[in-house]
Structure 1
Amino acid sequence: MAIKLLLLLVFFGVMVAVGLYCRKQAADVSGFVLGGRSVGPWLTAFAYGTSYFSAVVFVGYAGQFGWKYGIAATWAGIGNALLGSLLAWVVLGRRTRIMTQHLDSSTMPEFFGRRFGSRSLKLAASVITFLFLIPYTASLYNGLSRLFGMAFHIDYSICVIVMAVLTGVYVIAGGYMATAINDFIQGIIMIVGICAVIGAVLGSQGGFLAALESLAQVSDPSVSQVPGVFASFFGPDPLNLLGVVLLTSLGTWGLPQMVQKFYAIRSEHAIETGTVISTLFAAIVAGGCYFLGGFGRLYGGAVDVAAEGYDAIIPTMLSGLSDLLIGIVVILVLSASMSTLSSLVLTSSSTLTLDFLKEHFFRDMPEKRQLLLMRCLIVVFIAISVVIALVQYRSNVTFIAQLMGVSWGALAGAFLAPFLYGLYWKRTTKAACWCSFLFSTVVMLANIFFGSSFPALLQSPINAGAFCMVAGLVLVPLVSLVTPRPDQALVDGAFACYDRRVLVPQREALGETEKP
């Protein structure tokens, strides 16, 4: 217990110290929200990765999908690395950085408002962002509580409140830069922790080959009649597994707290470096989490999934580890959760302040008052999410993965296609954006209240969210082609940033007078 408490105290002390250290860089709106658009590749890549992976992935998704699909759940981690990180940085990184600076937009709703010349679109995007980030935030606390309960036997309410207060302190003090530096520290902890945990868990089962052989002996007639299916390449249900890969990988392209990392990166070279770092980080952390969860069936005799839920699987797998390793695991999941929470509350408070209150009620609000309001809203947002997390836990409404599925499905389904086409295609219309917004929010809200009436494949929030994202990629171009063209001057003004001539070093391009 002393070892675990010491690790926690050191961790909390470093996080708060970083927040206080970064106060000077959070003295204006740009510094508080985007770090002055001068954040380097390592900090940005780790901020992206740690915002991506949290207790939701480590406890909720790894446990649930490892149980359902066996070792094939590792495909979700591979998809996160290739689609959610590598391709996202390649496709979105550079264009997002250039156009958002050109349009002087600090948030995703502000981008929609200026790219499509619509205050109502900006308002709708800010409401959707604020509304659907709350269930995601609540799911972070739930996953963390399972491990704290196992390691310290501390009441869930205390875990939630301590985590919320400490995250709030360093975000309010240091803004985006404090979040980015802490994300870097937390990311290193996550990499070391996941490698240590995988080694320890497999070691307790006799090594990788022995564990895989034991997994091949596990059978569940209610899932599949095929012998050894949980140790197979694609698992017992490849179609639903594909939905998980799409939602958890492609979904990052439309999440405000993820895309906003591209707004803040420093330069073209930083984007290239960040792409490599982010991909490797995702491969280790996400791949490791799902790989570990794939062996959950080996602990079927120690956990009652029907009674305790999927969220109990990973804590059960870890409960037999040494005190030092359990302490490392707690810090690992705490790091993942606090980094994601800080990103969510910063995104929500900046969106509500800049895109809703300032735009519609206090247009001449001074910059200092904007900063004060954002800091106050961080407190409000954290308080709301804490209350929801406590109510959800006491009433046992749903699993972690389902909460995250609703949030990711609605946000990514609404924003992914309009944002992507808005960066690349001049013909994208405001009506197409509205269509994507309404379609995804209506489908995901209906899935919450009337999910049993959906087709069998779409009753899961995970699959419904993946469906919304894919549907948006089809709906936006179709609606754009049948609705009036956008104002040409508005479009040309937005895309002018890509045509501006800039000087580059000779090593990057030949001069006009050079002969081949």
Structure 2
Amino acid sequence: MFEKILMILIFFAITVGIGLYCRKRAANVNDFVLGGRSVGPWVTAFAYGTSYFSSVVFVGYAGQFGWNFGVSATWIGIGNALIGSLLAWVILGRRTRVMTKHLESATMPDFFGKRYDCAGLKTASSLIIFIFLVPYSASVYKGLSGLFSMAFGLDFRWCVIGIAVLTGVYVVAGGYMAAAINDLVQGIIMLGGIILVVVSILKGQGGFSEAFVRLSKVLSETAPEMEGALISFFGPDPLALLGVVVLTSLGTLGLPQMVHKFYTIKNEKSIKAGTVISTIFALIIAGGSYFMGAFGRLYYKVPEGGSPVFDNIVPEMLGACLPDILIGVVMILVLSASMSTLSSLVITSSSTFTLDFLNTLFIKNMNYKQQLTVIRGLCVFFVALSVILALNPNNLITTLMSLSWGVLAGSFLGPFAYGLFWKKATAAGAWACFAVGIGINLWNLFMPFAAPTGAGAISIVASLFVAPAVSLISPKPSAEKVEEMFSCYDKEVKAPHKLMLEQDRE
């Protein structure tokens, strides 16, 4: 117990110290929200990856989908790496950085407002972000609280509150740079931690081969070795597996807290390096997490006469096979992942609501100091809302996250992607996507027709078809304005050139 407490205290001290150190670099809104648009490839790539993967993946999704799909759940992690990371960086990285700089846009709602010449889009999207990032934040707190309860025997409510206070301190103090530097430190911890955990899980079942043999016989003890559904290539339910891959991989291309990372990157060279770093990071973290979750059935005992509590599978599995020192490592791993995600959510939500909603409609003409004060205040308010939602024990981690990702990505993927690439994309197409993203997921919440992950995946795919379909039949934007916006991709940059060698100057 002493080792675990010591490791947590050291981690807390480093985290808060980085936040206080970065306070002097967050003197204005541009620095607080964007880090001055001068963040290098390693910091940006790790910020992207650690914002992507949190306790939601490690505890909630790994537990539930490892249980449901077995080893084939690893496909989710592979999809996260190839689609959610590699494809996102290749398609969106450069164009996002160039056009948002050209439009002087600091947030996704501001981009919508300027790209589509529609102030209403800016206001509506800022509200959607603030409202629907709260469930995602709450799901992260729930994942963390389950592990803390397992490790320290504490009531999960006190765990949620303590972590919320810590997150609030370093984000409010240091802004984006504090979060990004912490992401780099925390990402390194995550890489080492997930490898140790996977090795320990397999070792606890007699090694790699023996663990697979035991898992193959879980559903049927008479099944031939290595032929069970839980170790098959696509698992027992390939269609449901595909829905999770779409939600958690393609959805990231439309999430404001993920796309925001491209706003901040330093230059073209950094984008290329960040693409490689981010993809490898995702493959190790996400692939390792879902692969680990596949063996939950070998450790977790379903309550007699009941059903598995998915949020408890990973905590119980780790508690059963890890010594205290490794549980401490796992706690640092999940804390690292989750606090990185939380910091990203808090900054994204509070900055968009301040700059794109309050400053537009209610508190107009705020100076930089006033904006910074309001953003910091909303950071605290957002954390408090998330904690209140997380304290409800009936809310499942996967349900909260699926609702959040489904609404946000379903609303924003189409308008954002087409807005960067297609000159004929219109405001009407964006409005239609907002209606589809919110409508499908709320309809499924109150009158279920699919699993939350399935509804989220449907809305994300629909966004890619709705945006162009409506744009083609709606009034076209001003050709002159659109050409001016897209001119940023055609600008030539002149480089200095020396006309003679040093020895020729004599």
What TM-score does the superposition give when structure 1 sets the normalisation length?
0.93
> Which residue does 1:471 correspond to in 2?
462
> Which residue does 2:345 correspond to in 1?
344
Q: Given that residues 70 and 230 in structure 2 are in contact (C-alpha distance below 8 angstroms), is that contact kept between their aligned partners in structure 1?
A: yes
The alpha carbon displacement at 1:305 in A equals 9.9
CA distance in 2, matches of 1:495, 1:227: 54
CA distance in 1, matches of 2:261, 2:304: 40
Could you tell which deviates more after superposition, 302-311 or 70-79?
A: 302-311
The alpha carbon displacement at 1:389 in A equals 1.1
Alignment of 1:2 with 2:12, yes or no, is no
The one-letter amino acid paired with 1:438 is A
> Which residue does 1:113 correspond to in 2?
113
Closer, same or farther: CA 305–60 of 1 in aligned 2, 3 Å? farther
The one-letter amino acid paired with 1:32 is F
Q: Superposition pairs for residues 434-473 of structure 1, below 5 Å?
A: 434-451=431-448, 454=449, 459-473=450-464
The alpha carbon displacement at 1:306 in A equals 3.9
CA distance in 1, matches of 2:488, 2:55: 39
CA distance in 1, matches of 2:251, 2:305: 28
> Which residue does 1:295 correspond to in 2?
295
CA distance in 1, matches of 2:209, 2:157: 41
Q: 1:323-373: per-residue Cα shift (whole Å, max 9, x none)?
A: 000011111111111110010000010001000011112221110010011
Give the counterpart of 1:411 among 403, 408, 418.
408
State the aligned residue count. 492
CA distance in 2, matches of 1:326, 1:305: 30
Alignment of 1:496 with 2:487, yes or no, is yes
CA distance in 1, matches of 2:424, 2:280: 35
Q: 1:139-167: per-residue Cα shift (whole Å, max 9, x none)?
A: 01111111111110011111111111111
CA distance in 1, matches of 2:495, 2:136: 42
CA distance in 1, matches of 2:304, 2:272: 46
Could you tell which deviates more after superposition, 31-40 or 485-494?
A: 485-494
Q: 1:298-326: per-residue Cα shift (whole Å, max 9, x none)?
A: 12436669455111111111012100000
> Which residue does 1:513 correspond to in 2?
none
Q: 1:460-489: per-residue Cα shift (whole Å, max 9, x none)?
A: 110111111111111111111111111112
The alpha carbon displacement at 1:505 in A equals 8.3
Could you tell which deviates more after superposition, 487-496 or 459-468?
A: 487-496
Q: Superposition pairs for residues 236-251 of structure 1, below 5 Å?
A: 236-251=236-251
The alpha carbon displacement at 1:283 in A equals 0.3
CA distance in 2, matches of 1:422, 1:267: 21
CA distance in 1, matches of 2:474, 2:34: 35
Q: Given that residues 303 and 313 in structure 1 are in contact (C-alpha distance below 8 angstroms), is that contact kept between their aligned partners in structure 2?
A: no
Q: 1:156-203: per-residue Cα shift (whole Å, max 9, x none)?
A: 111111111111111111100000000111111111110000111101
> Which residue does 2:382 correspond to in 1?
381
Q: 1:32-84: per-residue Cα shift (whole Å, max 9, x none)?
A: 00000000000000000000000000000000000000000000000000000
> Which residue does 1:124 correspond to in 2?
124
Q: Could you say what secondary structure the match of 2:292 adopts? A: helix
CA distance in 2, matches of 1:62, 1:502: 46
Q: Given that residues 303 and 316 in structure 1 are in contact (C-alpha distance below 8 angstroms), is that contact kept between their aligned partners in structure 2?
A: no
Percent of residue pairs bearing the same amino acid type: 60
CA distance in 1, matches of 2:61, 2:336: 17
Q: Given that residues 300 and 317 in structure 2 are in contact (C-alpha distance below 8 angstroms), is that contact kept between their aligned partners in structure 1?
A: no
The one-letter amino acid paired with 1:498 is Y
The one-letter amino acid paired with 2:299 is Y
CA distance in 2, matches of 1:234, 1:47: 31
Give the counterpart of 1:482 among 465, 473, 483.
473
The alpha carbon displacement at 1:212 in A equals 0.6
Q: Could you say what secondary structure the match of 1:439 adopts? A: helix
CA distance in 2, matches of 1:308, 1:478: 43
CA distance in 2, matches of 1:103, 1:305: 59
RMSD: 1.5
> Which residue does 2:371 correspond to in 1?
370
> Which residue does 1:279 correspond to in 2?
279
The alpha carbon displacement at 1:280 in A equals 0.4
> Which residue does 2:228 correspond to in 1?
228
> Which residue does 1:509 correspond to in 2?
none
> Which residue does 1:514 correspond to in 2?
none
CA distance in 1, matches of 2:79, 2:495: 34
Q: Given that residues 411 and 435 in structure 2 are in contact (C-alpha distance below 8 angstroms), is that contact kept between their aligned partners in structure 1?
A: yes
> Which residue does 1:67 correspond to in 2?
67
What TM-score does the superposition give when structure 2 sets the normalisation length?
0.95
> Which residue does 2:419 correspond to in 1?
422
Alignment of 1:401 with 2:398, yes or no, is yes
CA distance in 1, matches of 2:142, 2:105: 33
CA distance in 2, matches of 1:252, 1:305: 38
Q: Could you say what secondary structure the match of 1:484 adopts? A: coil
Q: Given that residues 296 and 317 in structure 2 are in contact (C-alpha distance below 8 angstroms), is that contact kept between their aligned partners in structure 1?
A: yes
Q: Given that residues 406 and 459 in structure 2 are in contact (C-alpha distance below 8 angstroms), is that contact kept between their aligned partners in structure 1?
A: yes
Q: Could you say what secondary structure the match of 2:447 adopts? A: helix
> Which residue does 2:333 correspond to in 1?
332
Q: Could you say what secondary structure the match of 1:230 adopts? A: helix
CA distance in 2, matches of 1:156, 1:305: 25
Unaligned runs of 5+ in 1: 507-516
The one-letter amino acid paired with 1:371 is L
